[in-house]
Structure 1
Amino acid sequence: MTARTKKIMNAPENIISEMIEGMVGAHPDLLRVEGATGRAIVAVDGPRQGKVGIVVGGGSGHEPAFAGYVGRGLADAAAVGNVFASPSPEQIMDAARAANGGEGVIFLYGNYSGDVMNFDMAAEELASIGVAVKSIQVTDDVASAPKERANERRGIAGDFFVFKIAGAAADRLLSLEEVERVARRANASTRTMGVALSACSLPQTRKPNFEIPADEMEVGMGLHGEPGIRRATLETADELATDLVGAILGDLDLRKGDEVAVLVNGLGSTAQMELYLLHRKTRYILADAGIRIAHSWVGEYATSLEMAGASITLMKLDDELRTLLYHPCRTPALTVGDLAAAGAARQARAATVEVHNDEKTVSNDRKELATSGDITPDIFRRMMRNVGKVIVTEKDWLSELDGVIGDGDHGVTMEIGWIAVGKALDAAPEDRTIEAICKRMAKAFLDAVGASSGPLYATAFLRAGTAVGERLNLDASALANWIAAASQGIQDRGRAAPGDKTMVDAWAPAADAAKASAAKGASSLDVIDAAVASAKDGMEKTANIAARRGRSSKLGERSLGHIDPGAASTYLTLRAMGEALREALG
């Protein structure tokens, strides 16, 4: 039995809100909270009229990233997600509203599917009301994809340099296009390689996400605690630095006479002594190659909870990037230049743009809706409530599956989402149609979760509700249409297909089976039973698939033999729907 880890905390469900309260309370001269979600941390003297707004963000657990880089001369605001989970679109929009000075907003975040989907949805919402938005995904992780597919790489500690350059460019009042240009240049000039010596554990589970023997290390780990690309025997500091820097030099076009900035970053529980050993060897390697170090940072700048390990990041400099690197900034985690002594004059708060994302009501007259079918809105609610009950019961299993090939938070994320759905169902008027219930579920799940599951399930609920929008009750055919629309919504939003080792590998066969069963004149129970059986089969087959999408795609063949956690939660979802329907129909 795996021993549980120790953490200094109160209730796990309050850890983010209490962390934000503690952080802002510790830096009242630098930070404030804005927006209804309580998840947008804003620079006291950053946003201002006529300046491009810089919004960074991502999951919690990486402190001081991301909110630690909010302050004058760097980021104007940070959207704070749950542990290892992307912030939701509404949380991102709270940050964007606070950062908007009328010249547009730039989103900066690591290249993870959940972050991409949530920031894209926020950008779409802002664009619809006339706010210009540019999105830049940081892709510095050498280990996560080959050079020819650099756009697929993860963003890890390189966030530090890309955020710094973008923030400086915006503070110098460059245009939206110019800030975007230099930020992309910084990203293209930055590479990172890292190693983990021990796993981290989530506050909700307090179990290591994976196991590393005492004499081994995980090379190329992800910032969310995902396993790396290979296991290797533990090396000395010099050997490790040689491997990490060597991988970067083999990927980044550096020549004799070039200049770089260096970041040696600890992942949460690595002693500063060890980090300096890595920097020592890094300095020798670069000197031997005729590469000059302009400036070095050694410490914890992008962590992974209590993971032991480190990463090394190099950014190749030119005159423009060097100037922006040295541009003054003052934030809780980084201070550069004159602002350290003088502070920054408080500026007028930026003009903000209101973005409303209220639940859209369904205008259909109930009298005009089809009433045939045995699944009433009340029974549908019971089906959805049972999904939440089953997910909460099975959350540890889902997180254990995810800990092997992902970041270990899938069960926690699904629990948070379905608890929010349950509260939304409790608050919904009794006369809501199934379409209206689905819309309410979508907003609740998205606002609560973020991560990749938030946009995926929100899109699934919206598409499924729309597919049955002309019905009051669902018959067998309508139930099949609901499942098929949910499946297609997930495929469209996540750009995944069957065979990619994702939840689609359970949703797609379930949808096909449901449609085939309904076409034969089967009952609603027969339709859901067919869907459940095919979802289970699809889930089990994912163990024989090498991941091609999502965070586990970086593991390639190492993901073989393990069930995809998203497919597992899909199976549980459909199974719970069937159980509740069977009970309701007697």
Structure 2
Amino acid sequence: MNQEVKTKKLINAPENIIPEMIEGMVGAHPDMLRVEGETGRAVVAVDGPRDGKVGIVVGGGSGHEPAFAGYVGRGLADAAAVGNVFASPSPAHIAEAARAADGGVGVLMLYGNYTGDVLNFTMAAEELEQAGISVRHVAVADDVASAPAGRKSERRGIAGDFFVFKVAGAAADLGEPLARVEALALAANDATRSIGVALSPCSLPQTGKPNFTIGDEDMEIGMGLHGEPGIRRQKLAPADAVTDELMDAILAELDLTAGSRVAVLVNGLGATSQIELYVIFRRVKQRLDALGIDIHASWVGEYATSLEMAGASVTLMKLDDTLQALLDHPCRTPALVVGAFEKSDVSARSRKAVKAAESTAAAPEKPRELLTEGDVTPTIFRAMMHTVGEQIIAEKNWLSELDGVIGDGDHGVTMEIGWKAVQHALEDTQADETIEGICKRMAKAFLDAVGASSGPLYATAFLRAGTAVSHRLNLDGAGMAEWLGAACQGIRDRGRAEPGDKTMIDAWVPAVEAAQESAKGGGSAIDVLLAARDGGEAGMKATAALESRRGRSAKLGARSVGHIDPGAASTYVTLRAMAAALQKALA
């Protein structure tokens, strides 16, 4: 009988691990780092941001330390937005980092090419641009294992962040304008290739369990930073043979000839000894020496980790004179020091008058006539949403287990964080608050708490759904169908997923179709919800036969077949909870 494996970590309460890490990091480097903003998730360089300089903002999920906050400091990033473990920072975190980094000439955002990061950084940029801050983006996409060369834009960002961040930070520090800094970051991205190998899993602090399984004698070539499966699983081989596999994949794409110059990064994933990393570098150098390729600069160590995963990655950046000069430009951060700055080089930022933050509270609604037909009052709706939170939290482990098979194993944890925030926000609702107002409150709470792709998706769903029923005080069958339909469309618009992609949409669409059919037949709110629940369940189960085409699991290809999509599962749990709560309220 197999005994469940539990991992050990030196932490306090899992829910406090990120604030405590930030407190410790800033406390350890007070000459380099400070925290700005109300969220506590914007780590800012003490001597980085200054007027007239392009602000460099990096960010992503925690668990990859020293990335991302470790690269904040003079000559590199001006600020980092720090997300939860393996989850993107929220738009609020990102916007605070960008405001702290803004020197009046624009901000460049740099992050790994993951759905959650793209969605959250995009939403933050929309907010910042409305406030008059120019924003550009570069999503690092260096992982050759995650998509073929012809679809480079779909590739993951892994340890190549290191080089792209360094080049962009140097360009900004030298006073280049925003468009030029963006162009140089893109050039660095285009010149960088990485691939990794994993030997053992990592475990999330919230679960204490390995987030994937791998045989004692096996390794996974091309595994991602969150435990996403790679190209293939095979028997563990000697270091030289493994390194040759990694180098072959990189050299097949980089146009390197005798006399070419490269920068090399051999990166540990969290539980790999320096001995092993230097053995790998030894073979990398042998391969490059044999080709007559010059190693201009090299780094060996932990620069982009995956908690305590055992394994390593190799990254090469092909250099030209411009990229080489930017790579050599001085920087001083907790994770990377290059060269040195003269004391006179450090120019303190002239602090501009701080603009009063615009209140996020909704303006008082003008009195209007609202439709009162229907069983679902705002009080009952609030209770329904609270029940959703309870059932999502109860199913946390199941949802994470589903995600561990085809994703990074944190979906249940992420949903728990979001719905706990919603439950807390629901406690502050006013007696006369409408369903639309409750939805706005839920959207803000979920988005502020969750930075993964679920944050923007659910926030957009709540906002759209609330707007769709803004003319109603209560919801009848037709109103309930409107609410569900708008929520589904919001997710489709924000995430760009369609039925058949193996995402939550594959549960939402049949649920909405069933709900609308019930409403057309004169069904009540409970009839509509029961139909939606059953449609969502059927859609969830059907995802097992699909091959994933969106999100992190898209890299699995045929290996995703046979497994239920975790987003579809949480959608079903949501609909089931809504129906159960309404049945209880009407009993």
Using structure 1 for the length normalisation, give the TM-score: 0.98
| Offset, 1:435 | 0.2
Question: Which residue, out of 324, 327, 334, partners 2:326?
Answer: 324
Question: Which residue, out of 7, 13, 16, partners 1:14?
Answer: 16
For 1:239 and 1:358, how far apart are their aligned partners in 2? 56
Q: Which residue identity is paired with 1:435?
A: E
> How well do the aligned residues superpose, as a CA RMSD in angstroms?
1.2
| Offset, 1:32 | 0.1
Name the counterpart of 1:48: 50
- Report if the CA contact (8 A) 1:97-1:353 is conserved: no
Task: State the Cα deviation string for residues 118-158 of structure 1 (Å, max 9, x = none).
Answer: 00001001111211000110000000001010000000000
Question: Which residue, out of 248, 253, 256, partners 1:254?
Answer: 256
TM-aligned CA distance change 1:353 to 1:289, over 3 Å: farther
For 2:422 and 2:38, how far apart are their aligned partners in 1? 19
Name the counterpart of 1:541: 542
Question: Which residue, out of 327, 330, 333, partners 2:335?
Answer: 333
- Report if the CA contact (8 A) 2:195-2:222 is conserved: yes
Task: State the Cα deviation string for residues 351-371 of structure 1 (Å, max 9, x = none).
Answer: 466653613246252x50000
TM-aligned CA distance change 1:207 to 1:544, over 3 Å: same
- Report if the CA contact (8 A) 1:100-1:353 is conserved: no
Name the counterpart of 2:229: 227
Name the counterpart of 2:371: 370
For 1:112 and 1:568, how far apart are their aligned partners in 2? 21
Task: State the Cα deviation string for residues 13-68 of structure 1 (Å, max 9, x = none).
Answer: 00000000000000000000000000000000000000000000000000000000
Task: State the Cα deviation string for residues 79-121 of structure 1 (Å, max 9, x = none).
Answer: 0000000000011011011000001000000000000010000
Name the counterpart of 1:217: 219
Name the counterpart of 1:414: 415
For 1:166 and 1:359, how far apart are their aligned partners in 2? 36
| Offset, 1:350 | 5.1
Task: State the Cα deviation string for residues 153-197 of structure 1 (Å, max 9, x = none).
Answer: 000000000000000000000000110010000000000000110
Name the counterpart of 1:206: 208
How do 1:74-85 and structure 2 match up within 5 A?
A: 74-85=76-87
| Offset, 1:225 | 2.1
Q: Which residue identity is paired with 2:226?
A: H
Task: State the Cα deviation string for residues 474-529 of structure 1 (Å, max 9, x = none).
Answer: 00001001001000100100000000000000011101110011001112111101
Name the counterpart of 1:182: 184
| Offset, 1:449 | 0.5
Name the counterpart of 1:310: 312
Name the counterpart of 1:114: 116
Q: Which residue identity is paired with 1:246?
A: D
Name the counterpart of 1:465: 466
How do 1:128-143 and structure 2 match up within 5 A?
A: 128-143=130-145
How do 1:501-512 and structure 2 match up within 5 A?
A: 501-512=502-513
- Report if the CA contact (8 A) 1:97-1:354 is conserved: no
- Report if the CA contact (8 A) 2:201-2:227 is conserved: yes
Q: Which residue identity is paired with 2:145?
A: A
- Report if the CA contact (8 A) 1:506-1:536 is conserved: yes
For 1:170 and 1:359, how far apart are their aligned partners in 2? 36
How do 1:477-488 and structure 2 match up within 5 A?
A: 477-488=478-489
Q: What secondary structure sits across from 1:569 in the alignment? A: helix
| Offset, 1:348 | 2.1
Q: What secondary structure sits across from 2:4 in the alignment? A: coil
Count of aligned pairs: 584
Name the counterpart of 1:64: 66
Q: Which residue identity is paired with 1:412?
A: V
Q: Which residue identity is paired with 2:554?
A: S
For 1:388 and 1:88, how far apart are their aligned partners in 2? 20
Name the counterpart of 2:583: 582
Name the counterpart of 2:380: 379
For 2:502 and 2:359, how far apart are their aligned partners in 1? 33
Q: What secondary structure sits across from 1:295 in the alignment? A: strand
- Report if the CA contact (8 A) 1:93-1:355 is conserved: no
Q: What secondary structure sits across from 1:217 in the alignment? A: strand
For 2:585 and 2:348, how far apart are their aligned partners in 1? 61
For 1:414 and 1:357, how far apart are their aligned partners in 2? 27
| Offset, 1:465 | 0.3
How do 1:237-248 and structure 2 match up within 5 A?
A: 237-248=239-250
In structure 1, the gaps of 5 or more residues are none
- Report if the CA contact (8 A) 1:47-1:350 is conserved: no
Q: What secondary structure sits across from 1:3 in the alignment? A: coil
For 2:544 and 2:444, how far apart are their aligned partners in 1? 32
- Report if the CA contact (8 A) 1:72-1:344 is conserved: no
| Offset, 1:345 | 2.7
Question: Which residue, out of 198, 215, 236, partners 1:196?
Answer: 198
The answer to whether structure 1 residue 398 and structure 2 residue 396 are counterparts is no
For 2:350 and 2:57, how far apart are their aligned partners in 1? 15
For 2:236 and 2:542, how far apart are their aligned partners in 1? 34
- Report if the CA contact (8 A) 2:332-2:340 is conserved: no
For 1:284 and 1:164, how far apart are their aligned partners in 2? 26
Q: Which residue identity is paired with 1:192?
A: S
Q: What secondary structure sits across from 1:428 in the alignment? A: coil
Q: Which residue identity is paired with 2:416?
A: E
- Report if the CA contact (8 A) 2:387-2:581 is conserved: yes
Q: What secondary structure sits across from 1:51 in the alignment? A: coil
Q: What secondary structure sits across from 1:427 in the alignment? A: coil
For 1:490 and 1:359, how far apart are their aligned partners in 2? 24
Q: What secondary structure sits across from 1:142 in the alignment? A: coil
Name the counterpart of 2:105: 103
TM-aligned CA distance change 1:493 to 1:277, over 3 Å: same
Name the counterpart of 1:516: 517
Q: What secondary structure sits across from 1:209 in the alignment? A: coil
Q: What secondary structure sits across from 1:143 in the alignment? A: coil
TM-aligned CA distance change 1:355 to 1:262, over 3 Å: farther
Name the counterpart of 2:530: 529
Q: What secondary structure sits across from 1:263 in the alignment? A: strand
The answer to whether structure 1 residue 347 and structure 2 residue 352 are counterparts is no
How do 1:15-30 and structure 2 match up within 5 A?
A: 15-30=17-32
- Report if the CA contact (8 A) 2:50-2:347 is conserved: no
- Report if the CA contact (8 A) 1:126-1:355 is conserved: no
For 2:454 and 2:94, how far apart are their aligned partners in 1? 16
- Report if the CA contact (8 A) 1:113-1:550 is conserved: yes
Name the counterpart of 1:163: 165
Q: What secondary structure sits across from 1:368 in the alignment? A: coil
For 2:64 and 2:393, how far apart are their aligned partners in 1? 26
How do 1:265-304 and structure 2 match up within 5 A?
A: 265-304=267-306
TM-aligned CA distance change 1:536 to 1:364, over 3 Å: farther
What fraction of aligned residue pairs are identical, expressed as a percent?
67
TM-aligned CA distance change 1:67 to 1:96, over 3 Å: same
- Report if the CA contact (8 A) 1:268-1:304 is conserved: yes
| Offset, 1:257 | 1.4
- Report if the CA contact (8 A) 1:269-1:308 is conserved: yes
- Report if the CA contact (8 A) 1:456-1:489 is conserved: yes
Q: What secondary structure sits across from 1:580 in the alignment? A: helix
For 1:342 and 1:547, how far apart are their aligned partners in 2? 54
Name the counterpart of 1:475: 476
In structure 2, the gaps of 5 or more residues are none
| Offset, 1:346 | 5.0
Q: Which residue identity is paired with 1:577?
A: M
For 2:404 and 2:209, how far apart are their aligned partners in 1? 9
TM-aligned CA distance change 1:583 to 1:310, over 3 Å: same
Task: State the Cα deviation string for residues 243-279 of structure 1 (Å, max 9, x = none).
Answer: 0011001122222211000000000000010000100
| Offset, 1:343 | 9.5
| Offset, 1:569 | 0.2
